[in-house]
A and B are shown apart, each in its own frame.
Chain A
Amino acid sequence: MTPSPETDFGALFAPRAVAVVGASSGTGGIANTFLRNLRPGGYDGRIYPVHPSAPTIEGFPAVRSLADLPEQVDYAYVAVSAAQTPSLFQGAAGKVRFVQVISSGFAESGEQALQDRLVAAVHEAGARLIGPNCLGLHAPRARLSFVDGVAFASEGVGVLSQSGGLGVDILRRGQTRGVRFTGLVTLGNCADLATSDLLAWYLADPATRVIGLYLEDAWDARRLFDMLRAAKGTKPVVLLKGGRTADGQRASASHTAALAQDDRLWLAFARQTGTVLVETLDAFLDALLLFQCAAPRATPTRRVVLFGNGGGTSVLAADAFSRAGFTVPRFAAATLARLEALALPPGSSVQNPVDTPAGTLRQEDGRIARRIFDAFALEPEIGAVVMHLNMTVILSYANPRILPNLFEAAMAARGDGADASHFVLVLRSDGEAAIEAQKQRYREQAVAASIPVYNELVEAAQALRGLATYEAYVRRRR
């Protein structure tokens, strides 16, 4: 019953005709909002509200039932009470390809029989079901989304989320961080189509370079494992798994069963598939952003150069990277000699972590950074360069050229090839609104140039740990 990934899900991610069931003739609920946002969002396919009596909904002529649709729609969005959903598909054979049932009140509330009837009715109509108990679909190819204001990317990150609400958070907060989405599907109860069905499509989709998964109770865990195992790390996958600490004590007499907690099995899953397992929404987005921006190195990242303003920050940064499994190596004599030849102002420390006070960074309007980068570019086997800037201090110079010049220096220093160093930017701020606003603008510029930006060094270290883990997996498994 699994559709072939290339053909069938293409229609889901780029629907040319959609039906919306559950919008009312008044201002209504979420179905009205979804319908209302379609045209302003840029969706230019056919739209069919379904309503038993109203002639028009939100300005679109309505049809009375799915059976009355004048053509097959690729996607039907359904938000009516759970009990009504199975009967929607009467006489609607061949009218719908994919149905997403937003409504809750199914297996998650103990109504397994109702859920089974819904699946049977959808299959009877020749369609496949997404959900129920979810929130919607973000389909950039068709400029269609259940969330307004999130950009439609042509290349980037594809996400599958078993939680609807978290799906919204992923899109919105992810967009603020600079993550670009090629798709996001909220899957809810996975009564018919499961995470693994759509994962197969993302793995094959050329526009999707990175995959993010939020899982709760994955009944298809074994299939996910087999699929990712076979993929051998073709694409980076970041996994946020909810419920890992759930108290699922096994009734057992053996030591092995007593120790086989869920958390340990998901750690095994990650280690054996090269999946990057994270524990928070922020860490999930941080990892996705890094994979979106950085091309994995053939040699797993291990040695890191830290560079920026703030002595204490540099020391703490070195600790954070060390704890995350990286080394912050002392520079070779030749590198050190080149850095010393720059005769940086007093207060600068040219040994790694390189501490360049703001007074140093403002030299030559920030172009000094270019020469600093050049000086350690010849240091062997540097996997990543992390530049951290205290925005509050640098912006206090009121010289608008400093930051762009620092970024330019960073861009130029990146190099290329399979073992080019990663470059990561950390923009620190005091949280003051005006600084934050400027920081966000710089973040957008940097991410547009494929430089990932983090708020703190610990976050950068964690994201790089995920990338390095993936690089090591690919190196061993290919």
Chain B
Amino acid sequence: MTAPNSKEACAILAAARAEGRDALNETEAKRVLGAFGIAVPQGRLLSPAPPPGFAAGLSPPFVLKIVSRDILHKTEAGGVRLGLADEAAAAAALAEMGARISALGHRVDGWLLEEMAPAGVEMVIGGIRDGRFGPVVMAGFGGILIELLQDIAFAICPVDALDADDMLVSLRGRAMLDGWRGAPPAAIGALRDVLLRVGGKGGLLETLQADIAELDINPLIVSPAGAVAADARILLGARG
């Protein structure tokens, strides 16, 4: 494991606090993950009406997401488009979503344009700061059905490699990771690595427990090639 750059993560958290915010935006949250060695998609923040050439240097297909302080659940608000083949497709999606979301009275603060993660199993890694146990990490099947399936396991931090294995083995749907119905097996090692970078000794939750009250990495897309944090949310609590 590369040593986490906790200084950078702390600076991002401190800046959000200084602005009186109780959450990081997606870009900030992903920078915090990046500081702990967790793979996030290449991407950039765009203005509400970006000039042509906004996708230069990024490889399609793209994902385009709304950035709005008025919207907590982007998917439910229709603010996420996947699989955009090129900049023209992204521009069209941007215009369509922008008009619809503005019409609903939500502010459009900007857009997040990212390279789409390789197809894989949608997992979740999360964390909370519990009043009695301290930092607690969660791993399981993510995506939009997370609260329907509830196929998740918790562990009290810091977790070690044995705990991580126990958590993953306890999932009902674990066969999905091994390659279900002819799919190639997902990179379980990469999934376990993210779990340890978040919940392990010196990991994100333990290191930043004074600031981070809740964390969702959902989905963490685990493909045969690795694990990528396609979305992330970090909520700040009262300083613990």
Residue positions of A touching B, CB distance < 8 A: 218-219, 221-222, 225, 250, 252-260, 264-265, 267-269, 271-272, 476-477
**Residue pair A256, B163 in contact (C-beta under 8 Å):** no
Q: How far is the CB of A352 from chain B (nearest CB, A)?
A: 28
Residues in B134-152 with C-beta less than 8 Å from chain A: 134, 136, 138, 142, 146-147, 150, 152
Q: How far is the CA of A265 from the CA of B156 in the complex (A)?
A: 7
> Which of B8-16, B58-66, B106-114, B210-218 is the contact stretch?
B210-218
B31 interface contact, C-beta 8 A:
no
Known A269-B156, A272-B155; 6 more pairs at CB < 8 Å: A222-B134, A255-B124, A256-B126, A258-B147, A259-B146, A259-B147
| Given A218-B132, A221-B132, A222-B132: A257 touches B154 (CB 8 Å cut-off) | no
Partner of B215, one of A219, A254, A268, A477: A254
Q: How far is the CB of B163 from chain A (nearest CB, A)?
A: 6
**Residue pair A268, B153 in contact (C-beta under 8 Å):** yes
**Residue pair B214, A265 in contact (C-beta under 8 Å):** no
* Chain B contacts for A256, CB-based, 8 A: 124, 126-128, 138, 214-216
**Residue pair A252, B214 in contact (C-beta under 8 Å):** yes
* Chain A contacts for B213, CB-based, 8 A: 257
Please list the 5 inter-chain residue pairs (A to B) with the smallest Cβ-Cβ separation, ordered nearest first.
A256-B126, A254-B214, A221-B132, A268-B154, A254-B216
Q: How far is the CA of A233 from the CA of B85 in the complex (A)?
A: 55
* Chain A contacts for B138, CB-based, 8 A: 256, 259-260
Per-residue CB contact flags for chain B residues 154-173 toward chain A (1 = under 8 Å, else 0) read 11100100110010001000
B88 interface contact, C-beta 8 A:
no
* Chain B contacts for A272, CB-based, 8 A: 155-156, 159, 163, 166
Q: How far is the CA of A441 from the CA of B178 in the complex (A)?
A: 53
Q: List 12 A-B contacts (CB under 8 A).
A: A219-B132, A253-B235, A254-B215, A256-B128, A257-B213, A259-B152, A260-B154, A265-B156, A268-B136, A268-B155, A269-B156, A271-B155
* Chain A contacts for B134, CB-based, 8 A: 222
* Chain A contacts for B154, CB-based, 8 A: 259-260, 264-265, 267-268
Residue positions of B touching A, CB distance < 8 A: 23, 72, 124, 126-128, 130, 132-134, 136, 138, 142, 146-147, 150, 152-156, 159, 162-163, 166, 170, 213-216, 218, 233, 235
**Residue pair B166, A271 in contact (C-beta under 8 Å):** yes
**Residue pair B136, A254 in contact (C-beta under 8 Å):** no
* Chain B contacts for A221, CB-based, 8 A: 132-133
**Residue pair B133, A254 in contact (C-beta under 8 Å):** no
Q: How far is the CB of B129 from chain A (nearest CB, A)?
A: 10
Q: How far is the CA of A177 from the CA of B90 in the complex (A)?
A: 71
Q: How far is the CB of B70 from chain A (nearest CB, A)?
A: 14
Q: Which residue of B lies closest to A218 (CB)?
A: B132
Q: How far is the CA of A267 from the CA of B235 in the complex (A)?
A: 25
**Residue pair A260, B128 in contact (C-beta under 8 Å):** yes
| Given A254-B235, A259-B150, A265-B133: A476 touches B162 (CB 8 Å cut-off) | yes
Q: Which residue of B lies closest to A252 (CB)?
A: B214
**Residue pair A255, B146 in contact (C-beta under 8 Å):** yes
Q: How far is the CB of A162 from chain B (nearest CB, A)?
A: 14
Q: How far is the CA of A125 from the CA of B218 in the complex (A)?
A: 55
Q: How far is the CB of A250 from chain B (nearest CB, A)?
A: 8
Q: How far is the CB of A301 from chain B (nearest CB, A)?
A: 18
* Chain A contacts for B126, CB-based, 8 A: 254-256, 259
Q: Which residue of B lies closest to A476 (CB)?
A: B162
Q: How far is the CA of A257 from the CA of B235 in the complex (A)?
A: 11
Q: How far is the CA of A101 from the CA of B155 in the complex (A)?
A: 36
Q: How far is the CB of A227 from chain B (nearest CB, A)?
A: 13
Q: How far is the CB of B203 from chain A (nearest CB, A)?
A: 15
Q: Which residue of B lies closest to A259 (CB)?
A: B152
Q: How far is the CB of A85 from chain B (nearest CB, A)?
A: 27
**Residue pair B130, A255 in contact (C-beta under 8 Å):** no
Q: How far is the CA of A149 from the CA of B90 in the complex (A)?
A: 80
Partner of A255, one of B147, B155, B162: B147
* Chain B contacts for A250, CB-based, 8 A: 128
| Given A253-B214, A272-B163, A476-B162: A260 touches B136 (CB 8 Å cut-off) | yes
Q: How far is the CB of A390 from chain B (nearest CB, A)?
A: 38
* Chain B contacts for A268, CB-based, 8 A: 136, 153-156
Which has the most chain A C-beta neighbours within 10 Å: B124, B153, B156?
B156
| Given A253-B72, A256-B214: A225 touches B128 (CB 8 Å cut-off) | no
Q: Which residue of A lies closest to B214 (CB)?
A: A254
* Chain B contacts for A271, CB-based, 8 A: 155, 163, 166, 170
* Chain A contacts for B153, CB-based, 8 A: 264, 268
* Chain B contacts for A260, CB-based, 8 A: 128, 130, 136, 138, 154
Q: Which residue of B lies closest to A223 (CB)?
A: B132
Q: Which residue of A lies closest to B146 (CB)?
A: A255
* Chain A contacts for B163, CB-based, 8 A: 271-272
Q: How far is the CA of A35 from the CA of B220 in the complex (A)?
A: 64
* Chain B contacts for A477, CB-based, 8 A: 162
* Chain A contacts for B23, CB-based, 8 A: 253
**Residue pair B218, A255 in contact (C-beta under 8 Å):** yes
Partner of B133, one of A225, A252, A253: A225
Q: How far is the CA of A272 from the CA of B155 in the complex (A)?
A: 7
Q: How far is the CA of A258 from the CA of B233 in the complex (A)?
A: 14
Q: How far is the CA of A261 from the CA of B174 in the complex (A)?
A: 22
Q: How far is the CA of A421 from the CA of B155 in the complex (A)?
A: 32
Which has the most chain A C-beta neighbours within 10 Å: B130, B134, B163?
B130
* Chain A contacts for B233, CB-based, 8 A: 253-254
* Chain B contacts for A265, CB-based, 8 A: 130, 133, 136, 154, 156
Q: How far is the CA of A218 from the CA of B131 in the complex (A)?
A: 11
Q: How far is the CA of A116 from the CA of B126 in the complex (A)?
A: 38
Which has the most chain A C-beta neighbours within 10 Å: B23, B132, B159, B213?
B132
* Chain B contacts for A222, CB-based, 8 A: 132-134
Q: How far is the CA of A254 from the CA of B150 in the complex (A)?
A: 14
Q: How far is the CB of A370 from chain B (nearest CB, A)?
A: 41
Q: How far is the CB of A222 from chain B (nearest CB, A)?
A: 5
* Chain A contacts for B142, CB-based, 8 A: 255
Q: How far is the CA of A259 from the CA of B163 in the complex (A)?
A: 19
Q: How far is the CA of A269 from the CA of B216 in the complex (A)?
A: 21
Q: How far is the CA of A476 from the CA of B164 in the complex (A)?
A: 13
